[in-house]
Amino acid sequence: MPTRESSSAAVWAILRKECRSEWRTRYGLNAALLFAVTTLAAVSFAIGRLGDRSDVLAALLWMVILFAALASLSHAFVREVEGHTLTMLRLIASPTSIALGKLLFNLLFLGLIEVVTVPLFLVLMAAPAPRWAPFLATLAVGSTALAVTSTLVGALIAQSRGRGALFAGVSFPLLMPLLLAAVRATRAQWLGVSAAAELRLLAAYALALLAAGLLLYDHLWED
C-alpha cells in the first residue's frame, strides 16, 4: 500500500488542486456567478423593491443562494468520476481527506458567489440595512451547512446516472430544515428580534451533518 500523506496535508493538497484546476478555466465559477446574478436579476425585475417585506426578502435571499448552490456545487465530484481521476486520488488520500478537501473548496466557492450576490441583492431589492453581526453569522453558518450537505450529496450523485435535477431533488429534503432556520434567522435580524435559537440550530445542523459525513465518507467509494 503506497504511503498516504497525513490527513491534513492531504486535505490541503486537494483543496489547492481544486482551486488551481478551477482557476485555470474559471468556467465553473463564471457559470455559477452568471447563474446567481441572473436569478437575482429575474427576481428583482419581477418583484421590484421590497424594502418593507422582511419576510419575503429573507426567503428570496436564501432561495437565490440555494439555487446557486444547487446549480454549481454538484460538479465537485462529477469531474473526478468523469475524468477517472478519482482512483488516482484514492491512492494518495483517504476518502475522508478527499471529501474534506472538496468540502473546503465548495465552501470557498459558495463564499465567493455570496460575496458578489448578497450585496447585489441588498441593493437591488432595496433591503433595509441588516444588523451585520447576526446577518453575516447566519450567512456563514447557513452556507457551511449548505456546503456540507452539497458535498455529501454530490459524492453520492457522482456515482449515479442522474445529474443536476437529481442532485437538487436528493439534496432538498436534507436542506429543508436548514432553509427554514436560515430564513427565520435572516428575517429575525431585520425585525430586530434575536436569531440566537435559529443560529444554534443551524450550527448544530452543520455539525451533525459534518459528523455524519465524516463517518460515512469511507463507505462512499469502495469499488
Given 113, 152, 188, 199, the residue binding other proteins (CB under 8 A): 152
Establish if 63 lies at the interface with other proteins (CB under 8 A).
Answer: no
Give me the residue label for grid cell 443562494: 65
Establish if 81 lies at the interface with other proteins (CB under 8 A).
Answer: no
Question: Rule CB under 8 A: which of 204-223 touch other proteins?
Answer: 204-205, 208-209, 212-213, 216, 219-220, 222-223
Taking each helix axis from N to C terminus, what angle separates 75-83 and 132-157, rounded to the nearest 10 degrees?
30
Give me the residue label for grid cell 450567512: 139
Establish if 98 lies at the interface with other proteins (CB under 8 A).
Answer: no
How far is CA 218 from its chain centroid? 21
Task: Give the chain's largest Cα–Cα span.
Answer: 62
Cα–Cα distance for residue pair 20/194, rounded to 1 Å: 41
Long-range contacts of the stretch 195-200 (C-beta < 8 A, 24+)? 195/134, 195/137, 195/138, 198/138, 199/134, 199/137, 199/138, 199/141
The C-alpha angle with vertex 14 and arms to 9 and 18, in degrees rounded to 5, equals 150
Give the shortest CB-26-to-other proteins separation in angstroms.
30
Give the shortest CB-223-to-other proteins separation in angstroms.
7
Establish if 193 lies at the interface with other proteins (CB under 8 A).
Answer: no
Establish if 78 lies at the interface with other proteins (CB under 8 A).
Answer: no
Given 111, 128, 162, 164, the residue binding other proteins (CB under 8 A): 162
Cβ-based nearer residue to other proteins, 93 or 157: 157
Question: Where on the chain is the footprint of other proteins (CB under 8 A)?
Answer: 152-153, 156-157, 159-162, 166, 169-170, 172-174, 176-178, 180-181, 184, 197, 201, 204-205, 208-209, 212-213, 216, 219-220, 222-223
